[in-house]
Amino acid sequence: MKNNNLFDNALPISASQLNDFKKTISTCSNIQLAWLSGYLWQKANQASNIISNGSKKIDTGNAITIVSASQTGNAKLLAKNLHEFFTKKKIKSNLSSAYDYNFKKIIHAKILILIISTQGEGEPPEEAWSLYQFIMSKKAPKLPSLRYSIFALGDTSYNLFCQAGKDFDKRFNELGAIRLCKRIDADIDYQSYYNKWSKELFHIVNSMKLSPVNTETVSDNKLHSKESISICTKNNPLLAPILTNQKITGRYSNKDVHHIEIDLSHLNVTYQPGDALGVWYRNDINLVKEILQLLSINSLKKIIINNNSMTIMNALEYHFELTINTQSIVKAYADCIGNNFLKNIICDNKKLKEYVINTPLINMIRDYPAKISSEDLISFLRPLTPRLYSISSSQDDVENEVHITVGVVKNLFDGQLHFGGASGYLSQFLKEDDKIKIFIETNNNFRLPLDKNAPIIMIGPGTGIAPFRAFMQQRDIDNAKGKNWIFFGNPSFTEDFLYQVEWQRYIKKGLLTKFNAAWSQDQKNKIYVQDKIRDNAKDIWDWIQNGAFIYVCGNAAKMAKDVERTLINIIIENGGMNMEHACDFLNNLRCNRRYQRDVY
């Protein structure tokens, strides 16, 4: 008679071990079984790490540990540069992402250098979340032997500028660690800050007379994906033509969302589901001309940018941010033109914040035009930085193309419509065959499981659905047998059902197991994705117990927090846990890459 018992068909363990295991689990409660599931998963991953990394051990005793916590890739790049710099100087340093850093052994570290960005409402990047929770918790050890330095990356247009770096600095100090040098809080134009900080840091470290030894790098965890390889990077963008630029929201929708397809057929570019596409955009030439006219600046005036001579018109079109106003810009402009109204505003922080929110840069200049020099103008403008968009295609499916889903930012000020810099450029000015500068931003912290039988839950309202279109294309190509469940939210079924036909096709095919949509404006009471998640609490808990991976993509400030609170409540109610244990349970899922977020 054929034996259909899954356990008994294959025996990687002895029969006695199997019997002991069966006896143990037969006496366990649901909460104990859930804990065992996470514990065994973690042990399996640790074993895989040992196999992947070989038998070499990282010597942290006299080495500098450099940890990057990156949101858009800048922190990762600077950490790599610092590691290479120390290597050339024959100073040992271990390089790690915040996700891969074994933070529970921080008590043994002697010198820790943290390069960290801030996301959302002053929060650490996704890959640093577990490290952050550990350091901020009561479990964090005293660190009297630790010497540390923090380089914080941020954006002064946000209220909680560099808050993640400030939080780590304060907490390390509370735990008894000693600063090697003062924390640096760098704005988006961070290179000059980094150059000064890294030189000071080197002189301090060099004076400590660390023993020079061979370096070893702790690379990003590769267990869940192969590494994306591309010559197409932020500092080496490539020109690619537009194939399709199509609005995919309805005529009466309050949202303007575009599906954009880009041709890669003549480029050596590779990417994976979960990666982002970086776009170097151009400012609207009419906006540039108006600014120059209002400030009485000759458009042909030559200036020097990055050691290159160019006209002020070209500089404003390609090199400076013109759509976002900030408190520092208002202060600098007020000082430059000596305007009393603006000077009064900058003396009141509350009024200044409100003014920046309600007054775009061009409106401020329209209200208070003045004659200034081109050098004065660029002295207070921020450098133009690329925008990142979650890739909404699988290269294995679309081959020589890359797709993005762009939500157009537009606001009405004083009766005039203002577009976001990148989204306005992509949606309003680009036509088929136009070329744009692009690059791939690898995101190994947002990856499909290697196990194609693993179930996945995808939560993505609005344009947060983009990476899950890529995920589903990949699961289809891979003939993955794991179940797939999507939670999607938008205002209206008839106007805002992004990629509706594709989801219906996947459901009919049997690839998409469940699809729950929340339409916030189609009924009297607003319904959001967290409400749909709450309605399916029991099934979600069952999927989690059966090894499901959970993915969240979208707004960090509100949606992602509401979703996380809902997931914690599901764990509390269905797992019989209190708040502390439920948070630990979710964090264990995060540590094991079964809870991944791509939020912004």
Q: Is residue 214 part of a domain?
A: no
**Measured in whole angstroms, how far is the alpha carbon of residue 40 from the centre of its chain?**
29
Structure confidence at residue 89 (pLDDT): 87
68, 124 in Cβ contact below 8 A? no
DSSP secondary structure string for all residues of 506-561:
HHHHTS--EEEEEETTSSSS---HHHHHHHTHHHHHHHHHTT-EEEEEE-TTTHHH
Q: What local confidence, expressed as pLDDT, does residue 306 receive?
A: 85
C-alpha torsion sign, points 358, 363, 368, 372 = positive
Q: 255: how many CB neighbours lie within 10 A of its CB?
A: 19
Query: Mapping DSSP to helix (H, G, I), strand (E, B) and coil, where does residue 358 land?
Result: helix
CATH code (residue 298): 1.20.990.10
Neighbours of 200 (CB within 10 A): 15
Q: Would you place residue 216 in the very low, low, confident or very high pLDDT band (cuts 50, 70, 90)?
A: very low
| Confidence (pLDDT) at 224 | 41
Residue 275, pLDDT score: 96
**Residue at 57 is within a domain:** no
Q: What is the pLDDT of residues 270-291, one digit of tens each?
A: 999 999 999 999 999 999 999 9
Mark which of 380, 413, 431 sits at the end of a domain.
Answer: 380
- Helix (H/G/I), strand (E/B), else coil: 178: strand
**By mean pLDDT, which of 5-9, 403-407, 523-527 is the weakest?**
5-9
Contact of 390 with 272, CB cutoff 8 Å:
no
Res 266 pLDDT > 80: yes
Q: What is the CATH number of the domain that holds 485?
A: 3.40.50.80
- What pLDDT is recorded for position 9? 40
Secondary structure (3-state) at 489 = strand
Which of 374, 376, 370 lies closest to 302 in space, CA to CA? 374
Q: What is the pLDDT of residue 31?
A: 56
Q: Are strands 147-153 and 184-186 parallel, antiparallel or unpaired?
A: parallel
pLDDT at 215 over 90: no
- The chain-wide mean pLDDT, for the chain, equals 88
Examine the fold and report which residue of 190, 207, 224 is the final residue of a domain before the chain moves on. 207
With respect to residue 307, please indicate whether it lies within any of the assigned structural domains.
yes
33/30 Cα distance (integer angstroms): 5
Give phi and psi for 96, each to the nearest 5: -150, 150
User: Given a cut of 90, is residue 1 above it in pLDDT?
Assistant: no
Q: Where are the beta strands (DSSP E) in 87-132?
A: 93-97, 111-117
Tell me: the pLDDT tens digits for 340-379?
A: 999 999 999 999 999 999 999 999 999 999 999 999 999 9
The proportion of the chain whose per-residue pLDDT surpasses 90, expressed as a percent, equals 75
Phi-psi region of 136 (alpha: psi -120 to 50; beta: other; left: phi over 0): alpha
What pLDDT, on the 0 to 100 scale, is given for residue 600?
85
Whether residues 483 and 592 share a domain: the answer is yes
What are the tens digits of pLDDT across the range 291-330?
A: 999 999 999 999 999 889 999 999 999 999 999 999 999 9
Element (H, E) at 404: strand 401-407
pLDDT value of residue 46: 46
Helix (H, G, I), strand (E, B) or coil at 256: coil
State whether 465 and 585 are in the same domain.
yes
Q: Which two tokens stand for residue 413?
A: 């000020």
Give the pLDDT confidence score for residue 96 in this predicted structure: 93
Structural domain that includes position 503: 456-599
pLDDT at site 505 = 97
Q: 475 and 398 in one domain?
A: no
111 within 8 A of 65, measured Cβ to Cβ: yes
Residue-level pLDDT at 208: 82
CATH number at residue 152: 3.40.50.360
Angstrom distance (rounded) from CA 327 to CA 335: 12
The pLDDT value recorded for residue 416 is 82
Distance of alpha carbon 216 from its chain centroid, rounded? 27
Do 261 and 391 lie in one domain? The reply is yes
Check whether residue 466 and residue 555 sit in a common domain. yes
Residues 374 and 312: beta-carbon distance below 8 Å: yes
Q: Would you say residue 30 has pLDDT above 80?
A: no
> pLDDT tens digit string along 447-485?
999 999 999 999 999 999 999 999 999 999 999 999 999
Residue 229 has pLDDT above 90, yes or no: no
For the whole prediction, is pTM greater than 0.85?
A: no
In a domain, residue 50? The reply is no
How large is the average pLDDT for residues 68-85?
92
pLDDT at 221 over 60: no
Instruction: Specify the residue for token string 């764990």.
Output: 571
Claim to verify: residue 306 and residue 342 sit in the same structural domain:
yes
User: pLDDT band for position 73 (50/70/90)?
Assistant: confident
Contact 277, 402 (CB under 8 A): yes
* Statement: residue 526 has pLDDT above 50: yes
Query: Pairing relation of β-strands 302-305 and 308-311?
Result: antiparallel
Q: What is the pLDDT of residue 218?
A: 43
Distance of CA 170 to the CA centre of its chain: 24
Taking only the tens place, the pLDDT of each residue in 38-69 is: 556 555 444 434 333 333 343 445 689 999 99
The reply to whether 412 and 524 lie within a common domain is no
* Mean pLDDT within 482-508: 97
Q: Give the pLDDT score at 18.
A: 61
Residue 422 has pLDDT above 60, yes or no: yes
Looking at per-residue pLDDT, the higher value among 225 and 63 belongs to 63
Q: 207: helix, coil or strand?
A: helix
Examine the fold and report which residue of 333, 348, 380 is the final residue of a domain before the chain moves on. Answer: 380
Residue in the block written with tokens 């933070």: 103
Percent of the chain past pLDDT 70, that is, above it, reads 86
Element (H, E) at 410: strand 410-413
C-beta separation of 362 from 419 below 8 A:
no
- Number of domains observed in the structure of the chain: 4
**Torsion region of 183: left, alpha or beta (phi above 0 gives left; psi -120 to 50 gives alpha):** beta
Clarify whether residues 586 and 497 are in a common domain.
Answer: yes
Is residue 23, in this structure, part of any structural domain at all?
A: no
Which token pair is 462? Answer: 């609005």
Local structure of 257: helix, strand or coil: strand
